[in-house]
Each structure stands twice: as structure tokens, then as C-alpha cells.
Amino acid sequence: MISPSPFEGLDPPEAARRLAADGPNLLSPERRRSAAAIALAAAGEPMFLLLAAASVLYLALGDQGEGLLLAAAGVVTIGLVAVQQVRSEVALRALGRLSDPVVRVRRGGRTTSLPARELVRGDLVLLAEGQRAPADGRLLGADVLRIDESVLSRESAPVTRSGAPGAPGGCLPGEVFAGTLIVAGQGIMEVTATGARTALGRIGASLSTIGPSRTPLQRSTGRIVVVIGSLALVFAGVVAVAYGTLRGLWIEGALAGITVAIALIPEEFPVVLSVFLALGAWRLARHRVLVRRPAAVEALGGASLLCVDKTGTLTGNRMQVAAVWTPDAEGVPGADALPASLRLVLEAAAAASSPQPTDPMDLALSRHSAASSDRPERMWPMTPRRLAVVQTWAHGDGRVTAAKGSPEAVFALCRLSATDAAPAREALERLAASGLRVLAVAEARHDAAADAPEELPFVLLGLVGFLDPVAPDVPAALGEAGAAGIEVAMITGDYPATARKIAMDAGIDVDGGVMTGEEIEALDAASLRARLRSVRVFARVQPAQKLALVRAFQANGAVVAMTGDGVNDAPALEAADIGVAMGGRGTDVAREAADLVLLDDRFSSIVGAVRLGRRIFTNLRRALIYVTAIHVPIAGLALLPILVGAPPFLFPIHVVLLELVVDPVCSLVFEGESSEPDAMRRPPRNPRASLFGPAEILAGFGRGAVILAAVLGLYLGLLPAVGENAARAAAYVGLAVGNLSLALAIGASAGVGLFDARRRLFWTIAATLAVVLLPALYAPGVFELFRFEPPPPGALTLAVGCGLAAGGWSGVVRALRRRRGSGSLRNIP
């Protein structure tokens, strides 16, 4: 039950009972695919259809053993694909839970934060500017909110609502609807409906119907796979017809064609991309960075400029009142007893704050004033034109209106001349130069109600300075960013002197001076770009000017990562190459516009995300090169022996067995590779450099061609010496060893030993392949299924050495060049 006090909220047991009765606050139930559904979808892929066709042909030939073995291998392969997809979907669901909006509610007399899905009827929710209403409800008290209801009404103009019976003219009743956006103001809402019972839920709007977006790389790779797959099928048909025409063996020709098709279709590409992007996002989430758009994972490693806010990103956002000034006194709260004039300033500042404070400065002020259960009679929220909060309170037979905000805005409300404002400006400069964030406080006493604050007779009471020092981990993170070739610009709404002091404490370059929002506004695009070549500290910046800064930095060639937390930061976040929203203090609008969300609002998390982004990019590039490289010998060995008149080397079962190695090596071993030791000592990659372009394709073809030449030469050389089946067995061992050594050569990170614990997964896969190959080579009744015969020890030794050399040579070259300190190979996989 609700407590008699209107702001106590539900008791936790009652809230739990209602949640069990009504269900979670979701517009529609979560959708998830079962493992069986994923496996069924995988079975419809072209490669598995080809496997099924090959099994049928073997059975038609009466070769039940080989047909059943091929079918079993296909089932195992489908299972591996399903496991990878399930792993990706589990990671994405975990990210989905992290991305759930968090709301502040009153429960049991305390303010707490909880996921919006846990809201129930009767909860008291604290609403603030930039937040989307998490449920339907009604406003309590006299708070006035401007709300964008276009999600329901399709009307773009915001409406004004208030819960007060005698609300000011133009205000609508206090109903608030789920999904609508609080444009201005703050207040308390009592939840009246949740989930599908809200107005938004009833009209069937459901975010769950929106599928995950594919990145540009995924789309382009998908097109490549379709083209290569189509050509592979055509080429396989030609091989089957030629084989049947030249040798008169049409069923064997069909098997040869299927083998070529399976070898050529690069079905690993989309799997590798989806696994890397999903698990990359999961790894970033473990570092307190939530990925909202998969393309950001690709872009992170290329960021060359971080544009960050001061408060809460470079500083701890734990405000405390450090100084109070009036024309006749100055003091520090808590150091000693404050004079009455200074206490009056603090009380007036608290009167201009929210009764249920969430803003760090409001919270700091509340610790120096008596709590009040009253509500203001009228409030005017901060606007871009008036950077001050104004609230009117009943006082005896009259009214008292308190204002706090930027000194310039409050001086204007008080109509101070330059001479009258001079003492306050001198104190402002002095406090700001010590790194304090300074607000001015004013008060007006009057009888009649006012329609606008500008009508009231405000008197300046004084200044309040808030201490919010640089977070302890920021200087080290800035140093790491600098070593990685990443510049940092600080953009803040604070006073220039405050911005300069905080930038110096953090370690940001201040040699170019501090540029203000007014200066940004006055410059044309070309002049602004010229100034931005040296300036890295910006003060008194409005959200619209952030957008101008982002575009100017981009015009100068920077890849910009931009942080933001407010409603009006959304355009700049959208325009940046990587938009980063604050998860702790950011608004819903900022989070919706961003590519990444910092769950802990720490600057070091941004730098950590760049570090991890570089690792993901490098490992994904290596995996794609490996997939390209390994298809060259598989496809060549399926085709070339036939063209030169030799017995076929590969049959479908051989290709499938290699595919069982390729997929797990790519998606697990490459994805789990650690960062290079110098990953954050390299400059950002060229933004025009693609993840997988001509250079990477040529690198893959070159490495694959070496294995193809070595294994083909081994097979053709052993044929007259040991016979077809023994030569096939030995050459196949060489191909498998070449496959594994190539993976080790491409994926090996510097500083990780061959038998390091981090190589455990690789050696597990290698051991598994050895366990499968041993009976295939030596067990009677088994090696016949693979068309093998036990090869002589000398031939087997030669095959292993050939595979190690053909696959591992590039790794040896990389290691030697690293040892010599050659920089030419830094970015070569």
C-alpha cells in the first residue's frame, strides 16, 4: 500500500507483489530463438544442402559407410554453427539487459534506481529533462513539464503539463504517457499503467519488432558471399559436366562438383563477422561500455580525437560546496560557522533547486539547508536563453522567488550594470581560476504572481563555488590516449577560467588558449577550422555549438568520438563518427542518439574502449585473412588434380573435416587473441583504410597459394612412390598441419609464447583434429571411408614438415622483424 506521505512511495514487498501480478514493464515479451530453431536455420545454408546432396549420392552408389559418415559430419558442423550463434545471441541478450533504461523511484521513503522493466502501478518516478516516460502516470504537485508527445500524437510541438489544480494558463492536465519525452522541467509521477496496458502498448508500438541493424561491412561481405557462392555453384556444374564427359563417371563427377562448391563457398565470412561483432560488444560491456550500434565496434580503433565533457567525465561529478561569497563576506561551509549573509545565499540556492534533487549541485546544496516537504508554487526551468533555474514559494502573505544559474544569466535577471557587477565578477574570476564551478544566486520578494522571471525585482545575494576535482584515473588515461596518437578536447559549459584550470589538472593541452561559445558563433566555417588546429579547450559552449565543433574537426580530417549527456547533445552525437553517451547521468535522448554508452561515465572507460576496439579490429582482420587464405588450397586441391589428370585429392568428407577446424579456429581462437603490446603506441589507422580490402585479400591469397603449391607438389610427388590412397593420406595431413600453423602464424600476438596458457584453445582444437586423424589414417575399416591408406613414416614426416613450413613461414618472418624492431610490419597481420 502507498504510505500516507505522498512522497514515501510503495513498500518494497508491495512493489514485488504487484510486479508478480502485473508482469514486467515491457511493451511486448522478449523474443528469443531456441537452439533448435538456430540449428534448423543453419541447415538451410547452401553448404549443408550440398552436404545432403553428397550423402544422397554416396548412398545411391551403395557406399553407406561414406554416406552416413558425411551426414554425421554435416550434423556436427551444423551443431558447431548453432553453438556459435547461440553464444552470440546470449551475448546480445546480456547487452539488451544492460541497455534497459534505469529510472529513479521513491520506495519505502528512499530514492533508489532500478530498471524500468521493474516499475509497477503506484510507483513514484522522478522525471527529469531528457528522459522518456517509462510508463503511464500522473504528475504530483505543482511541477510544470514540457513534453514531446509526438510518439503518440504525431504533433511535433511539445505540450505543457502540470499536476497542480490551479496550473498556469496553457497547461494541460498532468497525465504523462509512456514513451513521451520530457523536453524541460522535472517532477514526480505516480505510475498508473505499465507495459502493454499503457497507451503506447495498446496501440501496438513495439521496439522488439525492430531487428538488429547490419553494419556496412556485414552488408558488403554478404554481397561478396552471394557473388562467390553463385560463381562456385556455376563452376561446380562445369567441373561435374567436364568430369563426366571426359571420364564417363557422372556420379563421381557430381561428387567432384560438390566438393569444389563446398571448398569455394566462403560461408565462414558472415559467421565470423556476426560472432566477432557480438562478442566484441560483450567484451566492451565487461569494460563498462555498452554498444548500441555494431558499426561502432569497427570504428572505435580509428578514433583520432576525443571530444569530452568536463563534469562527470574528466571530473568525478561529486560536487561539494567549497566557497560562498557575498559582497561583505566569504567562507567555506563546514570550516567554521558561516555568517548569516552566507547562510542566506545557501538557503536561496536550495530554494531554486528541486525538492527531490538528482542534479549533483542540487544534492550538494541540500546538505547545507533544511529539508522541506513543501512544493514550489511556480517554477521556470533552465532554457538556452536563460541559463538559470527560478522557483517561486509562498511566504507569509507574499511570495519569494529564488534564482540560481550561470553568473551572466543571474546578473541579467538582477539588471546589474557593469559597475554594480564588478565585485561579483572579480570574485567569479578568482573562484573559477582555482577550479571551482561557480553559480550566482538571487532572490525577489513580491506579492503578485508573475508570468516570467524577468518581471521580478531580483537582488543579487552572492556566489556559490562547487568543487569537482579531476578524477584520479584521468591523467593516466590521457597519457595513454596521447601515446596512441589520440588528441583530447574538453568542451564544457563552465566559465573559461574554470575550464582552463581543470584542463591543466587533467593534462589537456592549453597552449592554444580557451575558446568560448561566443567566439565559435562569431567565426565562419573556414576560420573555425583554422582555430581548431591549435585550440583544445572550449568553455561556455552551447549544444548547437558542439555540433559546429564536431563538423569542423571532421573537416580537418579527424575521426571524432564525442561525449554528451543532455537533450540538446543529440545532434552532435549523431554527427560524430562515434557518439558516446553517459549511462549514469545521461538523458534517454542522448543514449538513443549515441553509438556507445558509458555505463560508469569514466573517461578511462573511453580510452579502454579504444584499446579494445583496436584489438577487435586487428583480430577480425586476421580472421578474415585466414578464411581467405585457407580457401585457396582447399579449392585448388579439389580442382587442380582433376585438371592435370591425377586422381582426385579431396572428396566432400575431407573438405567438411577441414571446415570443422576452420570455423572454431576463426570464431574462437582469433576472437580471443590478446592485444599487441604496442597496440596503444601506434597512431590511429587511416580512416580511409578498409578492414578487409585489396591488401588483405592479396595477403590471404599469397599465404594460401604457398600451402596450395606445397601440398599439391607433395601429393603429385608421392603418387608414384606410395600409391593414390597413401599419397592422399600424407598430403591431407600436410594440408591440416598447414591449416593450423597458418592460424597460429596469422593470429599470434607478440609476447604470447607458443605454449602459453592463452594458447590452450588452439592446442585443444589441434589435439581434437589429431584424435580424428589417427583412426582415419590407421584404423582398419575407418581409413577406407576416407579413401586413405597408412602412409610410410618417411612420407608422414615429410608431410608434417611441409605443412609446418608452408603455413608457418609468415609467423617466423613476423617474429624476426619484431625482434629487429622493424616498424614496417606493424600493421601487417
Answer yes or no: are the C-beta atoms of 133 and 186 closer than 8 Å. no
How far apart are the C-alpha atoms of 263 and 630, rounded to whole Å? 10
Answer yes or no: are the C-beta atoms of 581 and 553 closer than 8 Å. no
Question: Which run of H or E residues covers position 104?
Answer: strand 102-107
Query: Which of 450, 435, 362 is closest to 401 using CA atoms?
Result: 450
Catalytic residue chosen out of the listed positions 148, 309, 362, 588 = 309
Answer yes or no: are the C-beta atoms of 649 and 728 closer than 8 Å. yes
**Measured at the alpha carbon of residue 348, what is the angle toward residues 346 and 350, in degrees to the nearest 5?**
70
Amino acid at 548: A
Cα dist from 788 to 589, 738, 785, whole Å:
64, 19, 8
User: CA 787: distance to chain centroid?
Assistant: 49
Given CA atoms 74, 77, 79, 82 in this order, what sign does their dihedral have? negative
Query: Which of 527, 526, 495, 531 is closest to 513 using CA atoms?
Result: 531
Answer yes or no: are the C-beta atoms of 600 and 143 closer than 8 Å. no
Q: Which residues contact 112 (CB under 8 A, 6 or more apart)?
A: 104, 105, 106
Answer yes or no: are the C-beta atoms of 147 and 129 closer than 8 Å. no
- Which three three-digit cell numbers place residue 543? 549544444
Q: Which residues contact 827 (CB under 8 A, 6 or more apart)?
A: 682, 685
How far apart are the C-alpha atoms of 198 and 432, rounded to whole Å? 48
How far apart are the C-alpha atoms of 610 and 600, rounded to whole Å? 16
How far apart are the C-alpha atoms of 376 and 378, rounded to whole Å? 5
Answer yes or no: are the C-beta atoms of 387 and 405 closer than 8 Å. yes
**Measured at the alpha carbon of residue 512, what is the angle toward residues 508 and 514, in degrees to the nearest 5?**
80
Answer yes or no: are the C-beta atoms of 445 and 395 closer than 8 Å. yes
Q: Is 447 a catalytic residue?
A: no
Cβ atoms < 10 Å from Cβ of 300: 29
How far apart are the C-alpha atoms of 602 and 471, rounded to whole Å? 8
Active site residues: 309
